[in-house]
Amino acid sequence: MKNSIIILSIVFAGLMQHSTAQVRVFPVFNSTGTGRSVNLLASAQVKNRHEFGGGLRININKYAHNDDQLNLYFKRMFATKPLHYFGVEGFYHVHLLQKLQHIDFFAFYDIQVAYSTTGNRDYRHDSDPLTGECELSNPFIHFGPFTWIEQNIGIGFTVDIWKNFFLTQRLGGGAHFILGYDKPFSDTKNDYIIKDPFTWEFGYVLSVGIGYRFEPKK
Protein backbone atom coordinates (compact mmCIF):
# COMPACT_ATOMS: atom_id res chain seq x y z
CA MET A 1 0.00 0.00 0.00
CA LYS A 2 2.86 2.41 0.82
CA ASN A 3 4.45 1.70 -2.58
CA SER A 4 1.13 2.44 -4.31
CA ILE A 5 0.87 5.82 -2.57
CA ILE A 6 4.45 6.71 -3.57
CA ILE A 7 3.78 5.77 -7.20
CA LEU A 8 0.58 7.86 -7.27
CA SER A 9 2.46 10.85 -5.84
CA ILE A 10 5.06 10.60 -8.61
CA VAL A 11 2.35 10.30 -11.27
CA PHE A 12 0.49 13.37 -10.01
CA ALA A 13 3.69 15.40 -9.87
CA GLY A 14 4.15 14.51 -13.52
CA LEU A 15 0.58 15.53 -14.32
CA MET A 16 1.13 18.96 -12.79
CA GLN A 17 4.13 19.48 -15.08
CA HIS A 18 2.31 18.37 -18.23
CA SER A 19 2.17 21.33 -20.60
CA THR A 20 -0.86 20.35 -22.71
CA ALA A 21 -3.20 18.53 -20.30
CA GLN A 22 -5.92 20.17 -18.24
CA VAL A 23 -5.16 19.12 -14.66
CA ARG A 24 -7.91 18.89 -12.03
CA VAL A 25 -7.74 18.32 -8.27
CA PHE A 26 -10.88 17.46 -6.32
CA PRO A 27 -11.66 15.91 -2.94
CA VAL A 28 -14.90 13.90 -2.94
CA PHE A 29 -17.15 12.17 -0.45
CA ASN A 30 -17.26 8.58 -1.62
CA SER A 31 -19.91 5.97 -0.77
CA THR A 32 -19.55 2.44 -2.16
CA GLY A 33 -20.74 -1.09 -1.48
CA THR A 34 -17.98 -1.57 1.09
CA GLY A 35 -18.30 1.65 3.08
CA ARG A 36 -17.65 5.37 3.09
CA SER A 37 -14.51 7.43 2.52
CA VAL A 38 -13.08 10.79 1.56
CA ASN A 39 -11.00 10.51 -1.62
CA LEU A 40 -8.34 13.06 -2.58
CA LEU A 41 -8.12 12.89 -6.37
CA ALA A 42 -6.23 14.46 -9.27
CA SER A 43 -6.57 13.93 -13.00
CA ALA A 44 -5.35 15.04 -16.40
CA GLN A 45 -7.72 15.56 -19.32
CA VAL A 46 -5.97 15.04 -22.64
CA LYS A 47 -7.26 15.62 -26.18
CA ASN A 48 -10.39 17.16 -24.56
CA ARG A 49 -12.24 13.85 -24.34
CA HIS A 50 -10.10 11.46 -22.27
CA GLU A 51 -9.37 11.93 -18.57
CA PHE A 52 -7.08 9.74 -16.44
CA GLY A 53 -6.63 10.08 -12.70
CA GLY A 54 -6.55 8.62 -9.24
CA GLY A 55 -5.64 9.37 -5.67
CA LEU A 56 -5.75 8.52 -2.02
CA ARG A 57 -8.78 7.00 -0.28
CA ILE A 58 -9.31 7.69 3.46
CA ASN A 59 -11.84 5.26 4.94
CA ILE A 60 -14.49 6.41 7.42
CA ASN A 61 -15.58 4.02 10.17
CA LYS A 62 -19.25 3.73 10.99
CA TYR A 63 -20.65 1.81 13.97
CA ALA A 64 -24.29 2.13 12.94
CA HIS A 65 -25.58 -0.20 10.21
CA ASN A 66 -28.11 1.12 7.72
CA ASP A 67 -29.52 -2.36 7.22
CA ASP A 68 -30.54 -5.21 9.51
CA GLN A 69 -29.54 -8.05 7.20
CA LEU A 70 -26.46 -9.28 9.11
CA ASN A 71 -24.31 -8.69 6.02
CA LEU A 72 -20.73 -9.89 6.36
CA TYR A 73 -19.08 -7.53 3.83
CA PHE A 74 -21.62 -5.09 2.35
CA LYS A 75 -21.03 -1.69 3.98
CA ARG A 76 -18.92 -3.40 6.65
CA MET A 77 -15.38 -2.13 6.00
CA PHE A 78 -14.08 -0.93 9.37
CA ALA A 79 -10.49 0.11 10.10
CA THR A 80 -8.85 -1.20 13.27
CA LYS A 81 -5.24 -0.16 12.49
CA PRO A 82 -3.78 2.99 10.89
CA LEU A 83 -3.00 1.14 7.63
CA HIS A 84 -6.66 0.13 7.28
CA TYR A 85 -7.76 3.74 6.95
CA PHE A 86 -6.00 4.23 3.62
CA GLY A 87 -6.60 2.94 0.12
CA VAL A 88 -6.05 4.02 -3.48
CA GLU A 89 -8.31 4.83 -6.43
CA GLY A 90 -7.76 4.97 -10.17
CA PHE A 91 -10.26 6.00 -12.85
CA TYR A 92 -10.84 6.78 -16.51
CA HIS A 93 -13.44 9.23 -17.82
CA VAL A 94 -14.59 9.60 -21.42
CA HIS A 95 -16.33 12.95 -21.89
CA LEU A 96 -19.63 13.24 -23.77
CA LEU A 97 -21.69 16.09 -25.30
CA GLN A 98 -18.68 18.38 -25.40
CA LYS A 99 -20.53 21.25 -27.11
CA LEU A 100 -22.41 22.06 -23.89
CA GLN A 101 -21.13 25.04 -21.90
CA HIS A 102 -20.52 25.03 -18.12
CA ILE A 103 -21.69 21.40 -17.73
CA ASP A 104 -19.77 18.32 -18.77
CA PHE A 105 -21.12 14.75 -18.87
CA PHE A 106 -18.88 11.68 -18.86
CA ALA A 107 -18.92 7.89 -18.61
CA PHE A 108 -16.38 6.32 -16.27
CA TYR A 109 -14.56 3.22 -15.09
CA ASP A 110 -13.38 3.29 -11.47
CA ILE A 111 -11.25 0.91 -9.37
CA GLN A 112 -10.60 1.28 -5.63
CA VAL A 113 -8.36 -0.91 -3.49
CA ALA A 114 -8.11 -1.03 0.31
CA TYR A 115 -6.84 -3.39 3.02
CA SER A 116 -9.01 -3.47 6.12
CA THR A 117 -11.02 -5.48 8.62
CA THR A 118 -14.80 -5.57 8.87
CA GLY A 119 -17.04 -4.21 11.62
CA ASN A 120 -20.02 -6.46 12.33
CA ARG A 121 -22.70 -6.60 14.99
CA ASP A 122 -23.34 -10.09 16.34
CA TYR A 123 -26.64 -10.85 18.09
CA ARG A 124 -26.27 -13.47 20.83
CA HIS A 125 -28.41 -14.97 23.58
CA ASP A 126 -26.50 -15.12 26.85
CA SER A 127 -27.93 -17.12 29.73
CA ASP A 128 -27.13 -16.73 33.42
CA PRO A 129 -26.07 -20.17 34.77
CA LEU A 130 -27.45 -19.32 38.21
CA THR A 131 -30.83 -17.81 37.36
CA GLY A 132 -31.36 -19.25 33.88
CA GLU A 133 -32.39 -15.85 32.59
CA CYS A 134 -31.51 -15.05 28.97
CA GLU A 135 -30.27 -11.69 27.72
CA LEU A 136 -29.73 -10.54 24.16
CA SER A 137 -26.27 -9.04 23.62
CA ASN A 138 -25.04 -7.12 20.61
CA PRO A 139 -21.23 -7.20 20.56
CA PHE A 140 -19.26 -5.43 17.84
CA ILE A 141 -16.82 -7.88 16.23
CA HIS A 142 -14.22 -7.77 13.46
CA PHE A 143 -13.17 -10.17 10.71
CA GLY A 144 -10.09 -9.98 8.53
CA PRO A 145 -8.20 -7.98 7.48
CA PHE A 146 -9.03 -8.51 3.81
CA THR A 147 -7.99 -6.93 0.52
CA TRP A 148 -10.99 -5.15 -0.99
CA ILE A 149 -11.07 -4.47 -4.75
CA GLU A 150 -14.01 -2.44 -6.05
CA GLN A 151 -14.72 -1.93 -9.75
CA ASN A 152 -17.59 0.17 -11.07
CA ILE A 153 -18.80 1.78 -14.29
CA GLY A 154 -21.32 4.57 -14.58
CA ILE A 155 -22.00 8.16 -15.56
CA GLY A 156 -21.18 11.51 -14.02
CA PHE A 157 -21.02 15.23 -14.63
CA THR A 158 -19.15 18.38 -13.66
CA VAL A 159 -20.74 21.83 -13.38
CA ASP A 160 -18.81 25.12 -13.32
CA ILE A 161 -19.65 27.09 -10.19
CA TRP A 162 -17.13 29.97 -10.02
CA LYS A 163 -14.09 30.73 -12.13
CA ASN A 164 -12.06 27.48 -12.22
CA PHE A 165 -14.01 25.78 -9.43
CA PHE A 166 -16.51 23.06 -10.30
CA LEU A 167 -18.93 20.60 -8.72
CA THR A 168 -18.56 16.95 -9.68
CA GLN A 169 -20.76 13.90 -9.09
CA ARG A 170 -20.63 10.25 -10.19
CA LEU A 171 -23.04 7.32 -9.91
CA GLY A 172 -22.34 3.77 -11.02
CA GLY A 173 -22.58 0.08 -10.28
CA GLY A 174 -20.36 -2.97 -10.38
CA ALA A 175 -18.87 -5.48 -7.98
CA HIS A 176 -16.37 -5.66 -5.14
CA PHE A 177 -14.00 -8.56 -4.53
CA ILE A 178 -12.84 -9.60 -1.05
CA LEU A 179 -9.58 -11.55 -0.84
CA GLY A 180 -8.03 -13.20 2.22
CA TYR A 181 -8.66 -15.42 5.24
CA ASP A 182 -9.90 -14.45 8.66
CA LYS A 183 -7.74 -14.91 11.73
CA PRO A 184 -8.01 -18.38 13.32
CA PHE A 185 -10.31 -19.18 16.21
CA SER A 186 -7.47 -20.75 18.15
CA ASP A 187 -3.87 -21.88 17.76
CA THR A 188 -4.91 -24.41 15.13
CA LYS A 189 -3.64 -22.99 11.84
CA ASN A 190 -6.44 -24.46 9.72
CA ASP A 191 -9.30 -23.43 12.03
CA TYR A 192 -10.58 -20.32 10.23
CA ILE A 193 -13.84 -18.43 10.70
CA ILE A 194 -13.86 -17.54 6.98
CA LYS A 195 -12.17 -20.21 4.89
CA ASP A 196 -12.88 -18.98 1.35
CA PRO A 197 -9.92 -16.83 0.15
CA PHE A 198 -12.08 -15.13 -2.49
CA THR A 199 -15.65 -13.89 -2.56
CA TRP A 200 -17.53 -11.10 -4.32
CA GLU A 201 -20.71 -9.05 -4.10
CA PHE A 202 -22.57 -6.56 -6.27
CA GLY A 203 -21.76 -2.98 -5.33
CA TYR A 204 -22.05 0.65 -6.38
CA VAL A 205 -20.25 3.97 -6.19
CA LEU A 206 -21.68 7.41 -5.44
CA SER A 207 -19.32 10.35 -5.08
CA VAL A 208 -19.71 14.11 -4.91
CA GLY A 209 -17.13 16.84 -4.44
CA ILE A 210 -15.80 20.27 -5.38
CA GLY A 211 -12.65 20.68 -7.42
CA TYR A 212 -10.30 23.16 -9.09
CA ARG A 213 -9.23 23.14 -12.73
CA PHE A 214 -5.68 24.14 -13.75
CA GLU A 215 -5.74 25.42 -17.32
CA PRO A 216 -3.04 24.01 -19.66
CA LYS A 217 -0.01 26.13 -20.44
CA LYS A 218 -0.12 27.96 -23.75
Instruction: Work out the average pLDDT over 5-24.
Output: 58
Residues 160-176: tens digit of each pLDDT? 998 899 999 999 999 99
Predicted local distance difference test score (pLDDT) of residue 166: 95
**Pairing status of strand 124-127 against strand 134-137:** antiparallel
Instruction: Work out the average pLDDT over 54-71.
Output: 85
| CA–CA distances in Å: residue 2 to residues 41, 68, 84, 88 | 17, 35, 12, 10
Question: How high does pLDDT run on average in the chain?
Answer: 82
Instruction: Work out the average pLDDT over 40-48.
Output: 88
**Position 24 pLDDT exceeds 60:** yes
Predicted local distance difference test score (pLDDT) of residue 190: 45
**Would you give the DSSP letter of residue 89?**
E
Predicted local distance difference test score (pLDDT) of residue 130: 61
Domain count, the chain: 1
Q: Are 24 and 54 in contact (CB under 8 A)?
A: no
Domain that holds residue 52: 2-214
How many Cβ atoms are within 10 Å of 211's Cβ, its own excluded? 19
pLDDT class of 72 with cuts at 50, 70, 90: confident
Peptide bond into 145 cis (omega under 30): yes
Predicted local distance difference test score (pLDDT) of residue 186: 41
Predicted local distance difference test score (pLDDT) of residue 123: 65
pTM of structure: 0.80
Sign of CA dihedral 58, 39, 206, 172: negative
Q: The CATH number of the domain where 84 resides is what? A: 2.40.160.20
Q: Are 154 and 170 in contact (CB under 8 A)?
A: yes
**Position 49 pLDDT exceeds 90:** no
